[in-house]
Chains A and B, each alone.
Chain A
Amino acid sequence: MRMVLLFPVLVMVFAFRAGAVNDNHPAGGRSAGLAHASVMLADFWCFHHNQGGLPYVRNLMVGFHHHSGFVREMAHQSLALIVPTSSGSLAGSFSYYGFSHYHQTKAAVAYGLHLSGRLTAGIQLDYFHTRIAGIYGRQRLFTFEAGVQYRVNEKWQLGAHLFNPVRQKAGLYEEAAPCILRLGAAWRFSENLLFCLEAEKDLEQQVMPKMAIEYELVPLLFLRTGIALEPVLNSFGVGYCWQELQADLAFSFHPSLGQVSNFSLTYAF
């Protein structure tokens, strides 16, 4: 019943933002708390936002992320692993979006390395698999994404990321996966305060400006808030590091659709 009532809303959301299939769903509780203004950040979940951040991860790490979706059927989960190598860092991830009658899985491998002391770059190969129940069947898509990060000085860091620049098409109707460019800058105002600013452009959509603040209230306890526009999304998050374990929780609010929650957990060996 709930699904029936929400159907028009879901249709709207898909038409509005999601480009129907093969969408690149973001992961990471920290990023979600910052309204995904995270293209310039280098943390565990950076391979979902900018693989250029990977070489800054110097431990073997595993992580899990859960995104609730506005309804249960729009939930999204990710599982990932990062392995540092002598020249850079290697990452592998697997994510699942949807429910039994409509779901999309994404498997990816990424590699990032230092090009110079301040400049890093990374690339990721993606495999998308979408399945819709009944006569609609399934479709597959291969594509890639890449990003760079530049640390101007101790206070400023910049990031750029491009998803699916070749506009790979899939399925019977030659549906193109979205081509998305993200540019952003972060400014460390003081030791415990970080400002992030990002613009995201999907070729088919309006520019999505995002801004966020991360504040370290007491050592290793982080409070976050961010706002994205087009569409409007207010995010609030909290994160805590406990030795090798880091937990991040975030809530985002859309004025019409309501609330979504994100939770992620990472462990460094």
Chain B
Amino acid sequence: MHFKRIFFLWLSLVFAFPDGARAQDDPPLSSGLQSLIEELAASREGGIDYQYIVEDLQELFHQPLNINQADAETLGRLHMLTPYQIQSLIRYRERYGPLLSIYELPVVFGFTIRLAQQMKPFITVAPSRLQRQQPLLGLAGLIGNSRKHLILRSGQTLERQKGYVGPDPTYPGSPLRVYSQLGLKYHNRFRLGATLDKDPGETFLRADNPWGFDFHSIHLFVQNVRWMDKLAVGDYDIRYGQGLVAWSGLAFSKSSMVLNLARHAATIDPYTSANENDFFRGVAIEKKWLPLTVSLFYSGKHIDANLQDTTPSGAKVFSSFQQSGYHRLAGELFDERSLREQVVGGSVAYNKGRMKLALNGIHYAYDGLMIREPRPENAYRFSGRSNSNLSLDYRLSLNRLYFFGEQAWSMGEGLAWLNGVHGRLTPGVGLCLLHRYYERDYQALYAAAFAEGPRPQNEQGIYLGMEAEIRGGLFLRAYMDTWRFPWLTHASATPSTGWDGLIQLDYTPTKHSMMYLRFQRKSSSGSRVDADSGLMMARETRRSKLRYHFRYPLAAHLVSDTRMEYVYARSDDLSQGVMLCQDIGFHPGRMPLRFDIRFALFHTDDYESRIYAYEDDLLYVFSIPPYYSRGYRTYLNLKYSAGQADFWLKLARTGYADRQIIGSGWNEIQGSHKTTLYMQMRLRF
């Protein structure tokens, strides 16, 4: 036994972790993960679905991971370790043998006490032994012995929206959103579930939805059955390499978790979300012949597309894919499931020690012809009936460095490269460097790799991220990303460039209090065509954000979160915004009731200086409304647990001081406030 190891073990015992997190019954989202999700949502229009993360965490919360025998893929399910840290832990185990206690974790190179605290609810430390395979019991036995859950969620906006008003309303359905999910899980070997969803305004059990819900999804997933290592039937996710070819579901990019860029995910996962587009439907299998892993999938489904005319020969022509998932208006219903999509793909991975090399391919075809609007920025985007992508991805862990990357081809078109390195310079300082080069004609419709633009195409850039532990409890994180779009984009009528920088100071003075100060600035320069003169004008946009967040325990089980944010945006005009936000959370360890309250005031010049803020929400639900204009936002979020049933209620209101009409189009509300009420029930049996 190394002396150093014993010393650190003793040292970390002195800084013993807070206990009792497991007394609550839902996993606490770590603050890092929380801000990751928040930033992700801020960078995208509409909501995001992070359910698979919560599910992974929940699963680990009830059946903690033994970090002495978890492999890299399983450690990835913690969603809080970088690939570098995973490799570092594996190397530590190889070198010194199994960990003796959870308190040994901070000794592993690249780990901190804080990280170990965040991991604690989800892991155990047990002697490493051969993994005990849970026997499959036959269908009846499986159903009898599995853990099951049923979630029912429903809610709506209480004010009348324009689309629901009148004797013959534009939206045919009720404003109620109804969601339900049933899931069965037998250890990690068997999963079966169904998700049903009806969006506001969609019909239920009538008209075009005679079967009830507008969206149905079923998944079946088994592991290690007969000769297959994984089999997914129904809806599933595919995630290859760094996402240059195929990546469905949530894909993290730039955030205050500045080192989290290297992707590492299971190639096949069952799909359990309610997003109506971003998944595959069919069959996927995986088989291991060590060191080779082969996976194949086929997916066929009808998707929404903006249908145009037909060609003289009678073929369908469409101009874009519809991603909203709403099927309420006549136009939306016309486009609903109007196009048949078929995707086939596969991957062959070679895993040996610290190296992984994989060849990935995907081919997709539609039963219609895509013809985009003839605008210059569309010149190199996908059109036609089908396309293929092929890529080679690698990971290599060398001493203190972790290399990752993917090189991809689009059939007959452009190339894309992504290469990165991530490592620790000293125990307290981590660095991540990423270079990407996506040609303007690299077309990959199922890709979701690191990119500033909406897709990995027409972009080149360099990202540098750094994290330093200045002293105990004080962290500095920063990143700087610079890029260039060599061809025109939606936002610029000429090639454009830009940069994005973030610097954040995190301070954790005591175990339960935390604060951070963050400054972020994004600048891009391109040009636009002036509407009056028809001349090309240079255009520069800048957006700076300054945020201070402070969490402090007011009393036992009573937590206060205070946030101040200032936004300064300059494009054609100057726009400024400010928000003050106070949250109170009551989270008793043993009482069945818990609640969160928020009151926020915001004042922004316009939508340009909008401010996003994380909201504590119903389990699995995540939407961050942008705060803009002048007004307040308040909510009450209650949770009550009674045995195997949990109930949630969320009542939220946004009120405006400077407007009498909210929203636009058919969602317009006559009035100065918008109120939403949601209820959720979960049964576990």
Contacts and interface: CB of A to CB of B under 8 A. Distances in A.
Given A189-B428, A193-B425, A234-B482, A255 B497 contact: yes
Contacts of A255: 460-461, 482-484, 497
A57 interface: no
Contact of A229 (B425, B495, B499): B499
B480 A190 contact: no
B431 interface: yes
Contacts of A256: 484, 495, 497
B426 A192 contact: yes
Interface in A168-220: 189-190, 192-193, 211, 213, 215
A211 B465 CA distance: 12
B493 interface: no
In the A-B complex, the 9 residue pairs with the closest CB atoms: A255-B484, A255-B497, A190-B426, A232-B482, A234-B462, A227-B480, A215-B425, A232-B499, A193-B425
B466 A213 contact: yes
19 contacts: A189-B429, A190-B426, A190-B428, A190-B429, A192-B425, A193-B425, A227-B480, A227-B482, A229-B499, A229-B501, A229-B523, A232-B499, A234-B462, A234-B464, A255-B460, A255-B461, A255-B482, A255-B483, A256-B484
A141 B499 CA distance: 37
B484 A193 contact: no
Interface of A: 189-190, 192-193, 211, 213, 215, 225, 227, 229, 232, 234, 253, 255-256
B464 A189 contact: no
A163 B501 CA distance: 28
A211 B431 CA distance: 14
Contacts of A227: 464, 480, 482
Interface of B: 425-426, 428-429, 431, 433, 460-462, 464, 466, 468, 478, 480, 482-484, 495, 497, 499, 501, 523
Given A225-B464, A232-B497, A234-B462, A193 B482 contact: no
Nearest to A209: B501
Nearest to B521: A229
A213 B465 CA distance: 11
- Is the contact region of chain B dominated by helix, strand, or loop, or is it mixed? strand
A156 to B, nearest CB: 13
A262 to B, nearest CB: 17
B677 to A, nearest CB: 47
Contacts of B482: 227, 232, 234, 255
B8 to A, nearest CB: 18
B605 to A, nearest CB: 24
Contacts of A229: 499, 501, 523
Nearest to A231: B497
Given A189-B429, A190-B429, A192-B425, 6 more contacts: A189-B428, A193-B425, A213-B466, A225-B433, A229-B523, A256-B497
A193, A211, A232 pick with most chain B CB within 10 angstroms: A232
A189 B436 CA distance: 29
A228 to B, nearest CB: 10
Nearest to A215: B425
Contacts of B484: 255-256
A189 B426 contact: yes
Nearest to B427: A190
A234 B461 CA distance: 10
A223 to B, nearest CB: 9
Nearest to A192: B426
A90 to B, nearest CB: 37
A211 B495 CA distance: 26
